[in-house]
Amino acid sequence: MTHDLLQQLFGTEPAKIYIYAGELVAGDSQVENITLKFADAAGTNLVSCVVTQLKGTYFVYTKDDYNIEDSNFIFVVDLPLPLPPEPDPVVVEEETPSEGTQ
């Protein structure tokens, strides 16, 4: 999934996106399980995040700046993405009629 597509899905508010790469436990609520593991990785039970599944991959979206150093969570991108550079303006020079032409 491209960074542009992630921004289209999650928006342009400042946020961080992670992929959950840990083990999934059959029968459990995956969202609850991943949220609890994210709280543990963040070092606080006061996390604010959204866990969602897209094309078989679980993503964690958070507007908070946690120091996540857990191999179960792979940092993907900071939102918003930088704006592309503005193209150089095209300068069109008008031809000036030369003497003797109408």
How does pLDDT run across 26-65, given as a tens digit for each residue?
887 999 999 999 999 999 989 999 999 999 999 999 999 9
- pLDDT of the residue at 84: 74
Contact in structure between 55 and 2 (CB atoms under 8 Å):
no
d(CA 84, CA 3): 13
- Provide the pLDDT confidence category of residue 100 given band limits of 50, 70 and 90: low
CA atoms of 80 and 101, how far apart (whole Å): 55
Q: How many residues does the chain have?
A: 102
Q: Are strands 15-20 and 73-79 parallel, antiparallel or unpaired?
A: antiparallel
Sheet holding 57-62, edge to edge: 50-54, 57-62, 15-20, 73-79
**Given a cut of 90, is residue 90 above it in pLDDT?**
no
The helix or strand, by DSSP H or E, that contains position 31, with its residue range, turns out to be helix 30-42
